[in-house]
Amino acid sequence: MRTKDLVYVALFAAVTAALGLFPPIAVPVLAVPITAQSLGPMLAGAILGAKRGALAIALLLILVAIGLPLLSGGRGGFGVFLGPSGGFLVGWVLAAFVTGWLFERSWSTLTYWTGAIYTFLGGVVALYTLGIGWLAVAANLSLFQAAAGSVAFIPGDIVKVLIATTVALAVKRSYPIIEERSDG
């Protein structure tokens, strides 16, 4: 990794932490508040690519694990990983990786809608697969029950997919970080 890559990794760990400072938006129709923080993994993957994006989110989780209150609502410490929603935190790393990998693969032909689909596959499909699996084990539920308990968050996450895609594509136009792969 070049020096630049190390700084990018630290930067997006910090960006995701800073997103946690935004107060959660309560949407009357939905039962759950929407936090800006899960934009972080989508942006990290879509802007930095698979490896650096996943490392940035892993770094944030390390900071949280060693006791910094960087998750939205000032949460932090080891306990958050062992809670029922711990899988969604670890899933952020996977979300950034999948989003980044898909963006890298089609970097030169990316349109808004393919970008949104890729961000959805990483930031929602991959994330929920891990999160729901973990919830089922930690809370002793069947996979179906765990999934049913998580669907309330999906509308908010789709809004975030659209926001992240808009931001990532604007950054791609004016300050691209993922270089086009020569073998692509």
Q: What span, in angstroms and rounded, lies between the C-alpha atoms of 134 and 131?
A: 5
61-90: contacts with other proteins (CB under 8 A) = 62-63, 65-70, 73, 75-85
Q: Which stretch binds other proteins (CB under 8 A): 88-96, 106-114, 126-134, 171-179?
A: 171-179
Question: What is the bridge-based pairing of β-strands 25-26 and 33-34?
Answer: antiparallel
Least separation in angstroms between CB 89 and other proteins: 13
C-alpha–C-alpha distance, residues 90 and 58, integer Å: 8
* Residue 159 burial (10 A CB sphere; 0-12, 13-18, 19+): middle
What's the Cα-to-Cα distance from 168 to each of 39, 71, 98, 163, rounded to whole Å? 11, 22, 15, 9
Q: Is 69 or 121 the residue whose CB approaches other proteins more closely?
A: 69
* Closest approach of other proteins to the CB of residue 121, in Å: 21
Residues 6+ apart with CB under 8 A from 87: 130, 131, 132, 133, 134, 135, 138
Nearer to other proteins, 26 or 66 (CB): 66
Q: Is 113 an interacting residue with respect to other proteins (CB under 8 A)? A: no
Q: Are 58 and 67 in contact (CB under 8 A)?
A: no
Asked if 17 touches other proteins (CB under 8 A), the answer is: yes
Residue from 11, 90, 117, 158 binding other proteins (CB under 8 A)? 11
Q: Which of 112, 125, 166, 181 binds other proteins (CB under 8 A)?
A: 166
Q: Which residues of this chain interact with other proteins, rule CB under 8 A?
A: 1-11, 13-15, 17-18, 21, 36, 39, 43, 47, 59-60, 62-63, 65-70, 73, 75-85, 138-141, 145, 149, 163, 166-167, 170-171, 174-175, 177
